[in-house]
Structure 1
Amino acid sequence: MMNEFRTAKEAYDQTPIPQELNDRVQAGIRQGSEAYRSAHRRVSLRRTLTTAAACFVVVVGTLNLSPTVAAAAADVPVLGGLFQILTVRSYEDTNGDRTVEVEQPGLEDGALAQQVSQEIQERVDAKIAEGEKIIADYKEAFLATGGTEEEWAEKDNTVSVTYDIKSQTDTTVSFVVDSYVSIASAYQEQVYYNLDLAANREITLADLLGENWVEICNESIRTQMAESEDPSVFFSEDMGGFTTVDETTSFYINEAGNPVVVFPKYTVAIGAMGNVEFEIAK
């Protein structure tokens, strides 16, 4: 069974495509992965809040930029009595090579809106451009290695940016921004944001679980793995599986107020498990 898991992991890392095609696609994937790791290694509160805000805060005036944006703002979930989360940009753009689908979240009002309004536009546009470049490079290599335009037209070549609100109170919000390129599964990434809007700060696992948060998380995760229906789906430590949580570990806050730790596909379990989540009861 362990050999089977190791084989599955290796197969994921060594996609059987022509070398020229692999080089071009992997170059784009590395760019996205490096940006993701960089964002999660920031320990400065100011930088963390600016990055988080850049992914969702926008000046209300943005709604006047296009009918598409204005129409998207019609559905406005209320965040208590202080804030409103809304979709500030929603569109689908298709040409002969790719489809771009965007659902961009934002906060109406709030002290952070003015300072990050330009940054959010630049960040979201950069993610879209990055995905389009991966697809463009993929097509060039695909055709260069014998593929045809007709075969290319049959592929699902989509760049997508969406979001999902996990929980919210009068003063806090927890949500995930999900971006992916359909032709490159390793490029998919989820970035989780847990914000105390009243205090103007990011919520950490230590805030939710106390000073022993690492031990609490590790014990709970290992217990849940051992008690799962099939513990064998999880990689052991010597296979590169779970060892410990740290400040870069992704999580969201569920409706019960508990943190839910999230591990990306293939990091702690076989690929069939997808992203693996563990709720840590307080």
Structure 2
Amino acid sequence: MDEKLKELEKQYTEVPIPKELDFVVENALKQGKKKRKNRAPQWLLGTAAAAMLFTAGLNVSPAMARTLSDIPVVGSIVKVLTWTEYKVAEDTYDADIKVPAIENLENKKLADTLNEKYRSEGKALYNDFVAEVDYVKGQGGGHVGIDSGYEIKTDNDQILSIGRYTVNTVGSSSTTMHYDTIDKQNEILITLPMLFKDDSYIKTISENIIEQMRKQAASDPDKKYWVIGGGLPDDEVIDGFTTIKADQQFYISDKGKLVISFDKYEVAQGYMGIVEFEIPTDVLKNELVSSKYIH
């Protein structure tokens, strides 16, 4: 077993890391030229008492792969699985980071680009965790935790939407979500701007979300958003929500609806966590390029 773990560690340290974690995938596909670093980065093993478990390298351990009961199968070809898992359990320091991988896409460049991004993000999260643990220990100790993984938001004949979540706990907690939505039939990555004729969608979606916030707050006293009329006293709405970003996090639901996602604290108080809004298609129909994805 020790030899197998060493081999997994060796293979993982040799994974090339893209220069930027948040690069634009579709541009790389169009250019067909993505420079990758050949230098193997220094691997941080973490604090001495930390227990680190590699779960994956499916080409190395098929038996491990067969035990992953939560692997969703996309259609009859494409599948999403756990490529690697980092686990650390040491007193008040805990990490569980699951790194997804997409397999069997015929568009190898798209699959490779996404998988490199996922591996890079996972490695960066682990390295940041190790650095934070070292810092907190130097300050006398405390609690540091990270829980990161993925969930399949949509899996049908046309659309695969993967959500990757990260919960950081250092004193208080923060939660973020990042989505990738793939057209499985044409094997392309779908971005928010490409769904619309021009950038007028930003205003349309933002106005609808604010309307939804106010309606929710009026009917449910537990819903409180950072907008005027969103359930909070006006004087507490400072730097409130006014507009989505052009590349706001989103996914396409199984029913073909556009769902806009906000991280914890982004548009509401922390207790509300991740907040999502389904945008009615009737609101979007004049801005949509077509009804192929959103209908």
TM-score normalised by the shorter chain: which range applies? 0.5 to 0.7
Match for residue 27 of structure 2? 46
Unmatched 5+ stretches in structure 2: 1-19, 33-55, 229-236, 282-295
Match for residue 236 of structure 1? 227
Match for residue 251 of structure 1? 250
Q: 2:163 aligns with which of 160, 176, 179?
A: 176
Residues 68 and 91, structure 1, Cα contact 8 Å, conserved in 2: no
Residues 148 and 165, structure 2, Cα contact 8 Å, conserved in 1: yes
Unmatched 5+ stretches in structure 1: 1-37, 51-60
Q: 2:76 aligns with which of 75, 81, 85?
A: 81
SS of aligned partner of 1:226: helix
Matched, 1:204 2:191: yes
Compare relative contact order (CA 8 Å, sep 6+) and give the higher one, 1 or 2.
Answer: 1
Residues 103 and 161, structure 1, Cα contact 8 Å, conserved in 2: yes
TM-score by length of 2: 0.63
Residues 132 and 159, structure 1, Cα contact 8 Å, conserved in 2: no
Superposition deviation, residue 217 in structure 1: 0.8
Q: How far, CA to CA, are the matches of 2:164 and 2:81 in structure 1?
A: 14
Report the number of matched residues.
223
TM-score by length of 1: 0.65
Superposition deviation, residue 72 in structure 1: 5.0
Q: How far, CA to CA, are the matches of 1:140 and 1:217 in structure 2?
A: 46
Q: 2:201 aligns with which of 192, 213, 216?
A: 213
Q: 1:167 aligns with which of 139, 154, 162?
A: 154
Give the alignment's Cα RMSD to 1 decimal. 3.3
Q: How far, CA to CA, are the matches of 1:43 and 1:119 in structure 2?
A: 10
Specify whether residues 255 and 185 from structure 1 end up closer, same or farther in structure 2 by C-alpha distance, changes over 3 A only. farther
Alignment of structure 1 residues 81-120 onto 2, 5 Å: 81-90=76-85, 92-96=87-91, 98-110=93-105, 111-112=107-108, 113=111, 120=118
SS of aligned partner of 1:92: strand
Q: How far, CA to CA, are the matches of 1:106 and 1:205 in structure 2?
A: 22
Please tell me the residue identity of whatever aligns with 1:180.
V
Specify whether residues 70 and 91 from structure 1 end up closer, same or farther in structure 2 by C-alpha distance, changes over 3 A only. farther
Q: Which has the higher helix share?
A: 1
Residues 174 and 264, structure 2, Cα contact 8 Å, conserved in 1: no
